[in-house]
Amino acid sequence: MSDAVGGCTRPRTPVTEAEVEALVHGICFKTGPPRRLGVEVEWLVHEASAPRLPVAPERLEAVYAALRTVPLRSALTVEPGGQLELSSLPAPSLTECVDAVSADLDAVRAVLREDGLALVGLGHDPWQPTPRRFLRQPRYDAMEACLDRTGPAGRFMMCTSASVQVCLDAGHEEPGPLGHVRRWWLAHHLGAVLLAAFANSPLAGDRPTGWRSTRQLRWTQIGTGRAGGPPLDSDPRAAWTRHVLDSPVMCVRREAGPWEVPEDLTFREWTRGRTPRPPTREDLDYHLTTLFPPVRPRGHLELRMIDAQPGEDGWIVPLAVTAALFDDPEATETAYRAVKPLAERTLGLPAPHNPLYQDAARLALTDPELREAATTCFTAALAALPRIGAAPAITEAVAGYLERYVLRGRCPADDLLEMPDGASRGPYGRETRT
């Protein structure tokens, strides 16, 4: 959501429907041997001593101004509700990615600590009954107006959610376990297992919602046009290109004044009707950042279904498990076989608007099939981590998670549901290291 495409730019050369098809088809999957890995970690920012109390906007402004003076290797951005995000540079190995982001997080926490603030790893704010928007910019004004048409879920998504997003190379052009067609399919079906295993947002307004990932529930409620994926077929490029063209335009940017928020205008229709003005390449680039499927192709694959995790280093486990299952051929084949039976539960419907994703978000690993698939996948990932050069501490963290949660059919949401005072106690109220 924090993709920085900048503000409105002066209109440039209009693009035709055919040009858009060619552009999207050419940039969505950049194939080659999987070599690089990235992660985007989002955090809620709370009062360290009283996390239930909202942080005053003035304090957030001051601390974010201070953070912008800190040299970081990751890109630091702020989400509409004041959440903080660090986006790593592409790294050549899992260990290098973990080391770089960990160092940046240490620096960020030091600044926050001076002002009595803390990063909190929860997929959805459990306490605030109504969303409070921090950023007041034309982009987010337009986004709010657009998402309001489908109900209140959009504002909650913008202002009270946080995630761990794992970025992977698209894979080889050729078929096989590391081919881009297989990785695209695997990302969607393994995504349901990752969603279930790392569900960490069972509360809203200080009450259980009935979903272990309320964050994923909010995304689903936004609707298929904005937060849905394309149908899975044998040609991911063509499927994604059609999806981009047939998805609704969120807004038409302007140099001054509020941005226009059209209703029921797809990008395809915009290229044909060319009103309220002809779309440009810059408009297409911006449109791509307003689509939020669980797996987004941006040249690489961006997996967006994982809730933010508890503890200082909880984010490392989903990053490590995902990297191992996608970049080690043996683990990839094991994961593919483990999740293949789950495909029937999608009923052929795109994620996340299908029964498989809904069960993963609501039931997590209490679902027997998801628990079995998660056990197989985490065990395969654990065996693969030394083969991909993971540091011993990373392997130990994954082994601990497998024992604490997966083998017991649990996820972090279950810890929250069992705490008398919700997320204000246990690993959510104090800093821990894996």
> Which pLDDT value is given to residue 234?
81
> Which pLDDT value is given to residue 1?
39
> Which pLDDT value is given to residue 427?
38
Burial (0-12, 13-18, 19+ Cβ within 10 Å), 418: exposed
The segments of the chain whose pLDDT lies below 50 read: 1-9, 424-434
> Which pLDDT value is given to residue 421?
62
> Which pLDDT value is given to residue 422?
52
> Which pLDDT value is given to residue 124?
98
> Which pLDDT value is given to residue 49?
93
pTM for the model stands at 0.94
